[in-house]
Amino acid sequence: MSEITAEQVAHLAYLARIDLSPLEITSLTRDLGQIVDSIAKVSEVATADTPATSHPMPLTNVFRDDVVVPSLTVEQALSGAPDRAGDKFRVPAILDEE
């Protein structure tokens, strides 16, 4: 049904922020093509009048009261940080998208 190209895989890898090697792009292009061919059959039975189910249990209006609960301590919050400066997370320079 759908022919997956290496360019497509490279673009998907960009969207997913994974710096795939050229070899990986090649093998994923092949894998993805096969997988997509096998799973594309969902559209065979998915008729327009069939409603979509996004949740297995049909619950609605699950809300929480607006009541403050204790947060983590700053040390807990930052305990897993690869890098920090004071009480903030430190990240490398951000590409100019602003």
Partner 1 sequence: MPNAEMKNRAELMDFDTALELFEPVLGFEVHVELNTKTKMFCGCANEFGSGANTNTCPTCLGLPGGLPQVNKKAIESSIRLGLALGCEIAEHSRFARKNYFYPDTAKNFQTSQYDDPICHDGSITIELESGRLVTVEIERAHMEDDAGKLTHMGGATGRIQGADYSLVDYNRGGVPLVEIVTQMIEGAEHDAPEIGKTYVAAIREIAKALGVSNARMEEGNVRCDANVSLRPRGSNVLGTRTETKNVNSLRSVERAVRYEIQRQATVLAGGGTITQETRHWHEDTGITSAGRPKSDADDYRYFPEPDLLPMAPSREWVEELRLTLPEPPAARRKRLQAAWGFANLEFQDVVNSDLLDAVEATVAAGASAQAARKWWTGEIARLANAAGVAADSLVTPAQLAALIELVEAGTLTDRLARQVLEGVIAGEGTPAEVVDSRGLAVVSDDGALIGAIDAALLGQPDVLAKIRDGKVQAAGAVIGAVMKAMRGQADAARVRELVLERAQAIE
Partner 2 sequence: MTYLTKLSAAALSELLVSKQVSAVEATRAHLDHITAVDTDLHAFLHVAGDAALDAAAKIDARRAAGEVLNSLAGVPIAIKDVLATQDMPTTAGSKILEGWVPPYDATVVAHLRAAGLILLGKTNMDEFAMGSSTEHSAYGVTRNPWDRDRIPGGSGGGSAAAVASFQAPLALGSDTGGSIRQPAAVTGSVGVKPTYGGVSRYGAIALASSLDQVGPVSRTVYDAALLHDVIGGHDPLDSTSLTDSWPSMAAAAQAGLTDGALKGVRVGVIKELAGDGFQAGVTQRFTETLALLVAAGAEITEVSAPNFEYAVAAYYLILPAEASSNLARFDSVRFGIRVNPASGSLTSEHVMSATREAGFGDEVKRRIILGTYALSAGYYDAYYGSAQKVRTLIQRDFAAAFSQVDVLVSPSAPTTAFKFGEKLADPMAMYINDVTTIPANLAGVPGMSIPIGLAPEDGLPVGLQIMAPAKADARLYTVGAAIEQLLEARWGHTMLSQAPALTPTEMFASKEGAV
Chain residues binding partner 1 by CB under 8 A are 11, 14-15, 17, 54-55, 59-69, 71-72, 74, 77-78, 80, 85-94, 96-98
Closest approach of partner 1 to the CB of residue 55, in Å: 6
Query: 23 or 86: whose CB is closer to partner 1?
Result: 86
Q: How far is the CB of 23 from partner 1 (least distance, A)?
A: 24
Q: What is the DSSP string of 5-61?
A: PHHHHHHHHHHTT----HHHHHHHHHHHHHHHHHHTTHHHH--TTSPP-SSSS----
What b/e string do you get for 23-44 counting C-beta neighbours within 10 Å, with b at 16 or more? eebeebbeebbeeeeeeeeeee
Binding partner of 61, given partner 2, partner 1, none, CB within 5-8 angstroms per partner class: partner 1
| Residue 18, binding choice from partner 1, partner 2, none, Cβ under 5 to 8 Å by partner class | partner 2
